[in-house]
Structure 1
Amino acid sequence: MLLDRRRFVSSSTLAFGGLALSGCATTIARPTASAKRAVCLPPVKVSADRVIRTVAGLRPYRAPGFIVRAEALGDKRLVHNYGHGGAGITLSWGTSKLATELGLEGHQGPVAVIGAGIMGLTTARLVQEAGFPVTLYTAALPPDTTSNIAGGQWSPFGHFRDSAVTPEWRAQFAAALDYSWRRFQIMVGEDYGVRWLTTYAESGGDPGPADAYHPAAARVPFEDHPFPVDNIVRFDTMYVETGRFLRQLMRDIQIAGGRFAIRSFASPAELAELPERLLFNCTGLGARALFGDTELLPVRGQLAILLPQPEVGYAFSGNAGYMFPRPDGIILGGTFERDQWVAEPQPEDIAEIIESHGRLFGGFRCSA
């Protein structure tokens, strides 16, 4: 199924305190006389012959939310940091901060991080910043991790079911979101591939005072945007070019003396054999088999990437799907397919993604 990120964010985070605008069904707008006054934006050129690659990844989704928790592993301390669903990039620095604060207090000596996706890398950097040597044990390195496939919008979506989370978890979520929001802001620039973009999103609600993570949010009158849809809200948020971001984090870790070791683990007993006395589990979906977490399920996401268009300096999210412009290509998404274990693009789904975006941008009432 095609994913409307804005509406998904709305339904899954409102109970937290208004982090997103409320969503409702939208309709295709009919051209009116006011269409002649529509503000122009450069349309995305959508066609199958402009697709440069297609990808699919498996988001590690838990209805009760991500896990940040410490436990004993023999004579060692094990801290879990996994299960972030579609909010891995967004929450990475925040839950890694929670995890390191939980694990490092009173610790002495080297530290092990299991996994080298976004959670493993951010955890390792925070460990280093706290003054500890670190080794990352991982079965795969970027670009061969699920994190590389993420579209990269800073927006917490698709990572819990509202009825399944506890007040304690909501407090963790709030703290993680706040730290991650601030940490990404100081990384904006070409080095890490983080930038601010104006985003146009379909929404049936009005901006609220608690919408702190969508600054400059405002409803856009129909005549002031070119999209062939009703109910557009405009806001600013950050976007991450994930490939560049992960490469730079790896460099930072290595420059600071960190080490990467290619290794897989079949059981907690194998983890207990490591020389480090403090371990951080950042294995994502792998934690299901490694630790028997049956609440952890894959949610497949598929993307079609078009040739880059440097003139496109805005993003979109709505019924048609979502579009994020990046230097490495125009990202078109996407799907949110629960309990799908095959991390391969499906031709019929990719065709639907292209067709829906073709209708959206082909219906522009004005183009720059």
Structure 2
Amino acid sequence: MNRRAALKTLGTAAGAFLLDGCMRRGSQVVPGHPPELLHLPRVDVRPELEIRTVVGLRPFRPSGFVVRAENVGDKLVVHNYGHGGGGVTLSWGTSELAARLVREASGARVAVLGSGAVGLATSRLLQERGYSVTIYAKDLPPNTTSNTAGAQWYPFLVYEREHATPAFMQQFVEAAGIANRRFQLMVGERYGVRWIPNFYCSPDPYTSGRFAPGNPLHQFLVDVTAIEGPSNPFPLPYVRRVQTMMIEPSIYLPALMSDFFVAGGKIVVQEFHSLADVAQLSESTVVNCTGLGAHALFGDQELTAVKGQLTVLMPQPAVNYAAHFGDDYMFPRRDGVLLGGTHERDVWTLDPNPDAKQRVLAEHQQFFSGMKA
């Protein structure tokens, strides 16, 4: 698809992996024309403002994440992996479901494999239950996949509708609710979590997808408002504003690490090559939060990589909103303005894709240059 064609189809690709839904439970999309929207600052997308381009591999399973327990040799292994693009978003929810499966008495020693957002949330919840937790991980923040996440609170690319079972959907909605409530309690400077307005922009009316009936996560869409007509500052005619939480990994992950250590947690830097390595651990209960690593370590052949790439521009403090159009999105953070919009399935390389970067930059330049001043 060329750049012009890509922008003509803005808004149509958001449903490609399913998770697009409607409005807050019991409410309607409210027409609204806040005058200040005409004064949203444009993002400066000059290429010379780029400070880095980062790549992360989303651990994706068409049937969704795995939270279950099994006996592996003489150990109880509780799995908590395969979150796709929703790892940070769902972390507290699936970790709560996983923690419920740990059957040890309070005070027992538990091993957690992995130190990304899921591993850290799991570890903290186990500590809150009175367990003595050691994290075993090859990489620690800031060198985890979670550090490259956009980390807006809304699950993305978690499953495919045709492969999701009713049992999974029940798990999914429960996990999302738990996580949403936990992150609300973490809003503030310490954890780098804040509420910001998101603007979803489309060339076509919202008759399907996120803002149409049927989204299993509709109750988590806050303050859904139609921004149309003369108050719409964006270059596409159909806009929905919704409030969501933005999580800053560069603040959030170190804060969780600090909490983990204060509660007596330990970390061992170790890579696991086989189940024989897991069997050597002294703990009798192991929680598997290895993300994409579960493909090789636990033989999950359904689990695959979906490569994502973000180009980060110099911070622009005046920009305090997120924008979504088609496959593209812009997230404002303290450490930079994130420009995204790639998902390359079954691509396992961490090498940046120059063509994808140029496409994303060009599409964002066209979009923001078309905004009303």
State the TM-score, normalizing by the size of structure 2: 0.89
After superposition, the C-alpha distances for 1:40-70 in whole angstroms (9 at most, x for unaligned) are 2100000110001110110000001000010
* Cα distance change on mapping 1:13 and 1:334 into 2, 3 Å: closer
Q: Work out the CA distance in 2 between the residues paired with 1:6 and 1:248.
A: 37
SS at match of 2:308: strand
1:187-206 paired onto structure 2 within 5 Å:
187-203=186-202, 204-205=205-206
1:304 maps onto 2:305 in alignment: no
Unaligned runs of 5+ in 2: 26-34
Q: Work out the CA distance in 1 between the residues paired with 2:337 and 2:239.
A: 21
1:339 maps onto 2:346 in alignment: yes
Query: Aligned residue for 1:113?
Result: 112
1:293 maps onto 2:300 in alignment: yes
Structure 1 position 104, deviation (Å): 3.9
Structure 1 position 107, deviation (Å): 6.3
After superposition, the C-alpha distances for 1:242-299 in whole angstroms (9 at most, x for unaligned) are 1211111111101111001011111112101100011000000000000111100000
SS at match of 2:301: coil
Aligned length: 351
- Cα root mean square deviation, aligned: 2.4
Q: Work out the CA distance in 1 between the residues paired with 2:323 and 2:118.
A: 26
Q: Work out the CA distance in 2 between the residues paired with 1:326 and 1:344.
A: 23
* Cα distance change on mapping 1:79 and 1:6 into 2, 3 Å: farther
* Cα distance change on mapping 1:236 and 1:119 into 2, 3 Å: same
* Cα distance change on mapping 1:229 and 1:20 into 2, 3 Å: farther
Q: Work out the CA distance in 1 between the residues paired with 2:311 and 2:246.
A: 17
Indicate conservation of the 8 Å contact 1:100/1:127, yes or no: yes
Query: Aligned residue for 1:359?
Result: 366
Query: Aligned residue for 1:330?
Result: 337
Query: Aligned residue for 2:237?
Result: 230
SS at match of 1:59: strand
Query: Aligned residue for 2:264?
Result: 257
Query: Aligned residue for 1:32?
Result: none
Write the letter of the residue equivalent to 1:75: D
Query: Aligned residue for 1:149?
Result: 148
Query: Aligned residue for 1:30?
Result: none
Structure 1 position 12, deviation (Å): 1.1
Query: Aligned residue for 1:31?
Result: none
1:89 maps onto 2:96 in alignment: no
Q: Which runs of structure 1 show a deviation greater than 4 angstroms over 4 or more consecutive aligned residues?
A: 1-7, 17-21, 105-108, 206-210
Structure 1 position 11, deviation (Å): 5.6
State the TM-score, normalizing by the size of structure 1: 0.90
Write the letter of the residue equivalent to 1:109: A
Structure 1 position 102, deviation (Å): 1.2
Write the letter of the residue equivalent to 1:257: G
Structure 1 position 202, deviation (Å): 2.1
1:8 to 14, 37, 50: 14
Query: Aligned residue for 2:30?
Result: none
Residue identity (%): 45
Q: Work out the CA distance in 2 between the residues paired with 1:13 and 1:105.
A: 35
Unaligned runs of 5+ in 1: 22-35
Indicate conservation of the 8 Å contact 1:13/1:19, yes or no: no
Write the letter of the residue equivalent to 1:335: T
* Cα distance change on mapping 1:119 and 1:9 into 2, 3 Å: farther
Structure 1 position 320, deviation (Å): 6.2
SS at match of 2:271: coil
After superposition, the C-alpha distances for 1:191-232 in whole angstroms (9 at most, x for unaligned) are 110000001002532756872211000111131121111211
